[in-house]
Amino acid sequence: MKEFLTGNEAIARGAYEAGVTFVSAYPGTPSTEILENIAPYKEHVYAEWAPNEKVALEAAIGASIAGARALAAMKHVGVNVAADPLFTYAYTGVNGGLILVSADDPGMHSSQNEQDNRYYAKFSKVAMIEPSDSQEAKDFVKIALEISEKYDTPVLFRVTTRICHSKTLVELGEREEVGIKPYKKDISKYVATPANGRVLHVKVEERLKQLEKFSNETELNKIEWNDKKIGIVTSGIAYQYAKEVFGDTASYLKLGFTHPLPMKKIEEFANEVEVLYVIEELEPYIEEQMKAAGIKCIGKELIPRIGELNPDIIAKAILKEERQTIQYDEAKIVGRPPTLCAGCPHRGFFYMLAKKKNIMITGDIGCYTLGSAEPLSAMDTCICMGASVSAGHGAQKAFEFNGIDKKVVGVIGDSTFFHSGVTGLMDIVYNKGNAVTVILDNRITGMTGHQENPGTGYTLQGDKTHAINIPLLCEAVGIKKENIYIINPLDLDACKKTIDEALDKTEPVVIITEWPCVLKKPSPEDIEKFGNKRTICKVDEEKCKACRICTKTGCPAISFDEKASINEDMCVGCDVCLQACPFDAIEKVGE
């Protein structure tokens, strides 16, 4: 039976069919749907959201050592977080097969950088596989697990946004129950002391030689002979783009197993073609190694190393062909920059925070990063997950040490606080900092599509569980109870009063804003605590003085044409505009 699946759905199906029994991940676009599609196989696969990517991989490693086939999934920047256990597990090797799915994001559709994680396979000395469509995404999972167990190595399963989110037909198979391999205590293998590590490093280098031999022999790296005037070495989605441009007018060496590279096969292919191109997205990972081996080829001289590739870019770069695209009148296109949703619980707090002078606001990764956008402009930095708290602490210390009178406010979401913000808060307490930390608790992991987290009270597979209490966690870390404020971020007076008090403190302060994401399906606990009544706000045109202050909240439901107006279909009655209006020209209806 065939189904039309995205790459993420196919990876999930592949894990199910390959007998995987343990899966862990932290949500992050473009990888998130892998876990969401594994979760329904509850009878066969245990799946969980981890607080961060390092924990996800460590949990999968534990399952692998125990003898289970295991998978950890994350977006490319998540592998930075998980790099510590990855590098050591590369040394120890596996028991049950282990796959680390790295979902890279060329073009930065939803990421802060577009790093090429193929280098992680080379750097950590693990095997790597790259599928080119959904069928391969499913089939390669099973092959990767077999390679993992045969060669005693974790396998980096590298996909990109276009593989993760595009769909192709996939032939489904049956689940293979492989069971769990016997666990055997082996200190020399699994206890990575320096003495054991030195021995294991020798084994890793020997393994890489075996893997390169496999790479030269496997059908995962296959040659498609056509016209030999042009030869193309490629992998992943770039293979599909190259085929669309050149069709049967070129020969291809399609690489599915890309670490170690099959240098002998590449050299044989190169010797048969007149001109050799390397077509790959982002960095010259393949090209560099070919040129280092003395194989003449053309790559990044023509193919850009910035952004996502497509057939038009390749055709223009190599064939000098300008492909026709749909023409339109750019003057009629209205710019629609990303913004916080109408009714977003973060808006009220950011609206009031932005009014404060002489402060630096260190932000974090999440939908609340949009607080940096105009007209709120309530954020100065955004570096990586968890950095708002720790970078805020560093900035505050630097200001104080150099005699600069400026306060720092770090803002972070609830899921991100669990991910890696709590360690920054420990740093503030331990090192006697006094930066203000704001935890924007919207009761869900918002930006990636409403995944559960340790604070929501529910697991990935829908079971009720203990919800971590954020105020108590902050208190346990060392924040004094009187310095922990819990407020409704839609109450502007409460926001102002709390921010003023917090900025006056000389000790560590935490402000926790509690209100559910406006798009979240409320849980019974949400309804009990926050209610679930539908209201909207309307503008009284007689009272409206056209001052435009309501538009400074940045709410997309508000528009202005001589007088302000509110889109009733978008408004959820959060009241922020009503409170901001100095002329009482906005009223609430539906109560």
Asked, for residue 308, whether it belongs to a domain, the answer is: yes
Could you tell me if 51 and 453 are in contact, meaning their C-beta atoms sit under 8 angstroms apart?
A: yes
Asked, for residue 40, whether it belongs to a domain, the answer is: yes
Cα–Cα distance for residue pair 98/154, rounded to 1 Å: 5
Do strands 586-589 and 536-539 pair parallel, antiparallel, or not at all (unpaired)?
antiparallel
What pLDDT shows up at residue 537? 95
344 appears as a binding residue in the annotation: no
Cα–Cα distance for residue pair 459/452, rounded to 1 Å: 6
Instruction: Say yes or no: 184 and 82 in one domain.
Output: yes
517 appears as a binding residue in the annotation: no
Q: Which of 155, 188, 217 is the last residue of a domain?
A: 217
Q: Is 107 helix (H, G, I), strand (E, B) or coil?
A: coil
Phi/psi at 222 (5° precision): -125, 150
Cα–Cα distance for residue pair 416/395, rounded to 1 Å: 20
Instruction: Say yes or no: 302 and 410 in one domain.
Output: no
Asked, for residue 337, whether it belongs to a domain, the answer is: no
Instruction: Say yes or no: 236 and 278 in one domain.
Output: yes
367 appears as a binding residue in the annotation: no
Do strands 436-441 and 509-514 pair parallel, antiparallel, or not at all (unpaired)?
parallel
Asked, for residue 338, whether it belongs to a domain, the answer is: no
Instruction: Say yes or no: 235 and 255 in one domain.
Output: yes
Asked, for residue 325, whether it belongs to a domain, the answer is: no
Asked, for residue 6, whether it belongs to a domain, the answer is: yes
Please tell me the total count of domains within the chain: 4
Could you tell me if 38 and 13 are in contact, meaning their C-beta atoms sit under 8 angstroms apart?
A: no
164 appears as a binding residue in the annotation: no
474 appears as a binding residue in the annotation: no
Instruction: Say yes or no: 92 and 203 in one domain.
Output: yes
Instruction: Say yes or no: 276 and 294 in one domain.
Output: yes
- DSSP summary character for residue 249: G
Instruction: Say yes or no: 526 and 546 in one domain.
Output: no
Instruction: Say yes or no: 63 and 184 in one domain.
Output: yes
Cα–Cα distance for residue pair 260/219, rounded to 1 Å: 14
CATH of residue 562's domain is: 3.30.70.20
Q: Where are any strands of DSSP class E within 236-350?
A: 251-255, 257-259, 275-279
CATH of residue 261's domain is: 3.40.50.920
- Could you tell me the residue range of the domain that residue 295 belongs to? 221-319
Instruction: Say yes or no: 22 and 143 in one domain.
Output: yes
What pLDDT shows up at residue 591? 66
Instruction: Say yes or no: 389 and 288 in one domain.
Output: no
Could you tell me if 153 and 127 are in contact, meaning their C-beta atoms sit under 8 angstroms apart?
A: yes
Successive 10-residue mean pLDDT values, the chain, 591 residues: 97 98 97 97 97 97 97 98 98 98 95 96 98 98 98 98 97 96 96 96 98 98 98 98 97 98 98 98 98 98 97 96 86 84 96 96 95 95 96 97 97 97 97 97 94 96 96 98 97 98 97 96 93 89 95 95 94 95 92 66
Asked, for residue 414, whether it belongs to a domain, the answer is: yes
Q: Which of 194, 217, 240 is the last residue of a domain?
A: 217
Asked, for residue 255, whether it belongs to a domain, the answer is: yes
574 appears as a binding residue in the annotation: yes
Phi/psi at 215 (5° precision): -60, -35
Cα–Cα distance for residue pair 340/1, rounded to 1 Å: 42
Instruction: Say yes or no: 76 and 116 in one domain.
Output: yes
Residue 286 Rama label (left phi>0; alpha psi -120 to 50; beta): alpha
Alpha carbon distances (Å) from 280 to 171, 232, 235, 274, 300:
27, 10, 7, 20, 9
Query: Burial, 207: exposed, middle or buried (Cβ in 10 Å; 0-12, 13-18, 19+)?
Result: buried
Per-residue H/E/C for 433-495: CCCEEEEEECCCECCCCCECCCCCCECCCCCECCCCCHHHHHHHHCCCHHHEEEECCCCHHHH
Cross-strand pairs, 440: 413, 513
Could you tell me if 348 and 576 are in contact, meaning their C-beta atoms sit under 8 angstroms apart?
A: yes
CATH of residue 419's domain is: 3.40.50.970
Neighbours of 477 (CB within 10 A): 17
571 appears as a binding residue in the annotation: yes
Cα–Cα distance for residue pair 5/135, rounded to 1 Å: 8
Q: Which of 184, 217, 250 is the last residue of a domain?
A: 217
Cross-strand pairs, 158: 102
Instruction: Say yes or no: 241 and 187 in one domain.
Output: no
577 appears as a binding residue in the annotation: yes
Cα–Cα distance for residue pair 53/561, rounded to 1 Å: 47
